[in-house]
């Protein structure tokens, strides 16, 4: 075993300082935190370190149940995603799903350009790249990629929404009589503002219509 590196040492020190502050501000905070959680919202977002769901929405710990991956993708064969969605619905009983993409997304750019850091990422982005190719957005020219980057981020959130609406888990949940609304949004790193699509999917029929777009 080696000694702790500078990065971990810093993180641990910052955590200790944070826990002390929280305890001082609210002595019962950690008692409540450890007693369980009942979030009303399942957040599907990108792994990008600049897009922290709790921070950009000023949400408290325990208010969001969060699943993140590169490109905020909904992949039908992803067991991690399906288990998170199933638990969010039938375990936690959430009534809202927020599907959050963001501008300046590196995953979207990689799918646009065909450039990635390895075979696993290339495979992960394949569905997104196929959608961009279908829409004639893919390119190797850097200028063309840059010009289409924002458009591709917007297309991707709609693409992932359609994928999500194809999940049988959603329809099974609605069939129980449970209320559920899905909200696609985009975070703009250049302004710090979340952009709503002003669209919500709140029924099986509406979900099937959206799913039919892919």
Query: Which phi and psi (to 5°) does residue 20 adopt?
Result: -70, -40
**Do both 31 and 42 map to the same domain?**
no
Pairing between β-strand 96-102 and β-strand 193-196 as defined by DSSP bridges: unpaired
**Do both 94 and 179 map to the same domain?**
yes
**Do both 18 and 41 map to the same domain?**
no
**Do both 166 and 80 map to the same domain?**
yes
Cβ(121)–Cβ(66) below 8 Å: no
Kindly give the confidence (pLDDT) of every residue in the chain, 214 residues in length, as a single tens digit, with 9 standing for 90 and above: 556 678 999 999 999 999 999 999 999 999 999 999 999 999 999 999 999 999 999 999 999 999 999 999 999 999 999 999 999 999 999 999 999 999 999 999 999 998 877 899 999 999 999 999 999 998 889 898 999 999 999 999 999 999 999 999 999 999 999 999 999 999 999 999 999 978 899 999 999 999 999 8
**Do both 142 and 154 map to the same domain?**
yes
**Do both 140 and 181 map to the same domain?**
yes
**Do both 1 and 49 map to the same domain?**
no
Name the residue range of residue 103's domain: 37-211
Give the closest residue to 186 by CA, choosing from 205, 211, 161.
Answer: 161
Predicted confidence at residue 146, as pLDDT, reads 92
What is the SS3 string spanning 169-199? HHHHHHHCCCCCEEEEEEEECCCCEEEECCC
**Do both 87 and 190 map to the same domain?**
yes
**Do both 206 and 125 map to the same domain?**
yes
Predicted confidence at residue 1, as pLDDT, reads 54
> Which tokens in the block code for residue 50?
């600049």
Number of domains composing the chain:
2
Q: What is the dihedral of CA 121, 168, 84, 206, to 10 degrees?
A: 90
126: CATH: 3.40.1050.10
CA of 204: how far to CAs of 93, 100, 104, 173, in Å?
17, 21, 32, 9
Q: What is the DSSP string of 95-114?
A: SEEEEEEETT-HHHHHHHH-
Predicted confidence at residue 155, as pLDDT, reads 97
Query: Which phi and psi (to 5°) does residue 26 adopt?
Result: -145, 100
Cβ(59)–Cβ(83) below 8 Å: no
Other residues' Cβ atoms within 10 Å of the Cβ of residue 37: 13
């Amino acid at each position: 075993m080696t000694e702790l590196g500078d990065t971990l040492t810093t993180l641990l020190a910052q955590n200790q300082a944070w826990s002390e502050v929280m305890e001082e501000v609210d002595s019962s905070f950690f008692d409540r935190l450890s007693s369980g959680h009942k979030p009303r919202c399942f957040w599907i977002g990108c792994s990008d370190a600049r897009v922290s769901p709790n921070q950009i929405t000023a949400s408290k710990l325990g208010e969001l149940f969060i699943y993140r991956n590169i490109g905020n993708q909904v992949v039908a064969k992803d067991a991690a995603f399906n288990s998170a969605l199933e638990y969010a619905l039938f375990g936690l009983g959430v009534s809202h799903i927020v599907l959050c993409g963001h501008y300046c997304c590196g995953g979207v750019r990689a799918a646009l350009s065909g450039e990635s850091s390895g075979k696993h990422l290339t495979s992960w982005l394949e569905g997104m790249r196929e959608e961009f190719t279908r829409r004639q957005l893919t390119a190797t020219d850097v200028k063309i990629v840059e010009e289409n980057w924002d458009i591709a981020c917007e297309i991707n959130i709609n693409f992932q929404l359609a994928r999500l609406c194809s999940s049988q888990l959603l329809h099974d949940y609605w069939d129980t009589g449970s209320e559920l609304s899905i909200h696609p949004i985009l975070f703009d790193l250049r302004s710090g503002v979340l952009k709503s699509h002003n669209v919500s999917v709140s029924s099986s029929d509406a979900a099937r219509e959206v799913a039919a777009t892919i």
